[in-house]
Structure 1
Amino acid sequence: MSSPPDRPTGTVLVTGAAGFIGAYVCRALRARGDAVVGLDNYNDYYDPQLKRDRVAALCPDVDIRQLDLADRDGMAALFDEVRPGRVIHLAAQAGVRYSIENPHAYVDSNLVGFVNMLELCRHRGVGHLVYASSSSVYGDSATPPFSEDQRIDQPRSLYAATKAAGELMAHTYAQLYGLRATGLRFFTVYGPWGRPDMAPLLFSRAVLARRPIEVFNHGRMRRDFTFIDDIVAGVLGALDAPPDPAATHRVFNLGNHTPVELERFIEVIESAAGRPAQKVYRPMQPGDMVETMADTARAQAAFGFAPTTPIERGLPPVVDWCRDYFGVAA
């Protein structure tokens, strides 16, 4: 199967543009002179006002359309208007635990929405699709450090299953239609303007407000926390290095390759906040993983991915941002 002809890079379409990673990616693209159009449905998984404030702070000059991935006609009209040369597809229903409560949201966004995206990229001649996967795809079968060659057929949550399915669908479109696609498995991304349902913001806000924090698996967890600036560098690096026409589909880990003990993670937040955490130890949550650790050798070789931010440098700005945005007692 021959690959689609190369076309001018043109506009970059970023989905999930009001999301945490999306807004930073939009800002970085604009800073280097790319033409960017974004889309986001501004759903209420968490406060849409945070998304709007994030856009206003990080990428106010980017044209972001309010649109849902499952709206086939609306998506087709957007592609016909914008004619993107490349797509960075970050929009998805996120969250491991929420997928247990609301599975249909994950099917609509991560499966139906992704098929809509693949079809549009195929039929509109998009030169390169970069899409977000997740470290959660490794599930129970993985052995740290997680390598892209390891199996991903034992997910621990529906969220993870939808992300693994997305990789399979992208591979299929690459094989059948020559669509050049790159999947990025993100490992616990954090930073200012981050998602309020994730531990960096949950813990920072609680410690600042002197509220207790829930520490799952009694603290016996390790995470490969990856700072947002390092992730953005990886996304743009992958975008600028499309697959060889003979390969068409690739998958890369984007992580810090340095797992951190959960107790150490809390210590750094305590130090930045200037007060101790009130820890309430809980059993393991359904769907969670005990440890994540990225083998990033493949991304390093392909586009020079080299994260440089330890939590000792990355977490204090998160605590400072929480104090400024939410207030000490929020």
Structure 2
Amino acid sequence: MKTYCVTGGAGFIGSHLCEQLLSQGHRIINIDNFHDVYDYKTKIRNILSSTGSSFPYSYSGDKAEDLAKLQAMVESDHYSLVITDIRHMDELDAVFASEKIDAVIHLAAMAGVRPSIEDPLLYEEVNVKGTLHVMEAMRKHGVRKWLCASSSSVYGNNKKVPFSEEDVVDYSISPYAATKKSCEVLGHTYHHLHQVDTIMLRFFTVYGERQRPDLAIHKFAKLLDRGEELTMYGDGSSRRDYTYVGDIIAGILGALSYVEQNTSVYEVVNLGTNRTITLRDLITSLEQEFGKKALIRTLPNQPGDVEQTYADVSKANQLFNYQPQTDFAEGLHKFVRWYRGNSNG
């Protein structure tokens, strides 16, 4: 049994990762701050699902009380929930001092391109300074293996497709993208100075069960299901490399195995599918799943939105045999089935 620290382990991707690591018999320390960017009850449900805890869960309506109850419910020899913010260095230090951590998978961040334009200082504080705090805790306590979530947004409006890890990514078009590029640079610094074996994983538009309610597929599904108008920015020709969460988790686990088995590692790696779907085709696919016609309001493209994302995944395949298995139609069907079974959508 190994002990892994997963930051952001109550979120969409993090809860799936914790579930898989637990199924392999490992111990998980989940650090999450339950930020109010969306309802904290969503993350409670994620944790209950990922730890196999019993439903239904009785909410008091008081966030602090509910989270304290959750901590007590899920605490075990294999799982510990630490509710803190990665901006709080003293609290991170206490966690790392009390546990023998084998590796860190750092997923915690303020996410989203458009919100980062409205509050760039918050994004810098959490994504850059918070990541630096995690790396400092690792350095101080001798943890030398880690994975860090980066993003396809670092490519900006790259004209060359598919996007390769060798492409220049010096032209971010949102504060969010800039913070993710900054973390990649910091990761290399700690690899060079402190011999931290590192893989920076550039995720490409992840979707699937437990997807955050503020992301496009989930948001569109809810509006379409309710017969409400959805907003399409641009003419629908923008393209995304949508990656099913199960394939992302397989990629993370492959990268974790690689970084554990090798030394002197610093790699930046795409995790996508090497296929793209237009926004218009996404909406059409949702219409087919729900058997309804969408009411669409068209608005101009938004600042910070990229025209397309398109991953070259050959490096991930070469390093740890990454091979995405789920095509978009299958993955979308799995998401919609989960959505229909989720009482809160």
TM-score, normalisation: structure 1: 0.93
Contact 1:212–1:280 under 8 Å retained in 2 = yes
Post-superposition offset of 1:321: 2.3
Instruction: Please name the residue that 1:314 is paired with.
Output: 331
Post-superposition offset of 1:249: 1.0
In structure 2, what is the Cα distance between the partners aligned to 1:49 and 1:63?
Answer: 18
Is 2:125 the counterpart of 1:108? yes
Instruction: Please name the residue that 2:243 is paired with.
Output: 226
In structure 2, what is the Cα distance between the partners aligned to 1:226 and 1:187?
Answer: 6
Is 2:297 the counterpart of 1:280? yes
Q: Which runs of 4+ in 1 moved over 4 A?
A: none
- Of the structure 1 ranges 211-220 and 237-246, higher mean CA displacement relative to structure 2 is found in 237-246
Post-superposition offset of 1:142: 4.8
In structure 2, relative to structure 1, the CA distance for the partners of 1:116 and 1:142 (3 Å cut) is farther
Contact 2:144–2:195 under 8 Å retained in 1 = no
Is 2:6 the counterpart of 1:14? yes
Contact 1:208–1:323 under 8 Å retained in 2 = no
| CA offset digits 1:31-73 (Å, max 9, x no partner) | 1111111110000111111111111122245322101001010
Three-state SS of the structure 1 residue aligned to 2:137 is: helix
Instruction: Please name the residue that 1:29 is paired with.
Output: 21
Matches within 5 A, 1:171-182: 171-182=188-199
Post-superposition offset of 1:82: 1.6
Which amino acid letter does the alignment assign opposite residue 126 of structure 2?
A: S
Matches within 5 A, 1:1-330: 10-59=2-51, 60=53, 61=74, 62-242=79-259, 244-246=262-264, 248-326=265-343
Which amino acid letter does the alignment assign opposite residue 21 of structure 2?
A: L
Post-superposition offset of 1:326: 4.5
Percent identity of the aligned residues? 37
Instruction: Please name the residue that 2:56 is paired with.
Output: none
In structure 2, what is the Cα distance between the partners aligned to 1:125 and 1:294?
Answer: 34
Which amino acid letter does the alignment assign opposite residue 52 of structure 1?
A: I
Structure 1: gaps (5+ residues) = 1-8
Structure 2: gaps (5+ residues) = 54-73
Post-superposition offset of 1:145: 0.4
Contact 2:155–2:171 under 8 Å retained in 1 = yes
In structure 1, what is the Cα distance between the partners aligned to 2:17 and 2:175?
Answer: 26
Which amino acid letter does the alignment assign opposite residue 121 of structure 2?
A: H
Three-state SS of the structure 1 residue aligned to 2:156 is: helix
Which amino acid letter does the alignment assign opposite residue 26 of structure 2?
A: D
In structure 1, what is the Cα distance between the partners aligned to 2:103 and 2:85?
Answer: 19
Post-superposition offset of 1:23: 0.2
Contact 1:205–1:319 under 8 Å retained in 2 = no
In structure 2, what is the Cα distance between the partners aligned to 1:142 and 1:155?
Answer: 13
In structure 2, what is the Cα distance between the partners aligned to 1:142 and 1:148?
Answer: 14
In structure 1, what is the Cα distance between the partners aligned to 2:241 and 2:192?
Answer: 32
- Matched residue count: 319
Post-superposition offset of 1:157: 0.3
In structure 1, what is the Cα distance between the partners aligned to 2:127 and 2:102?
Answer: 22
- Of the structure 1 ranges 147-156 and 236-245, higher mean CA displacement relative to structure 2 is found in 236-245
In structure 2, what is the Cα distance between the partners aligned to 1:93 and 1:69?
Answer: 11
In structure 2, what is the Cα distance between the partners aligned to 1:319 and 1:221?
Answer: 22
| CA offset digits 1:207-264 (Å, max 9, x no partner) | 1001111111110111000000000000010001017434x31110000110111111
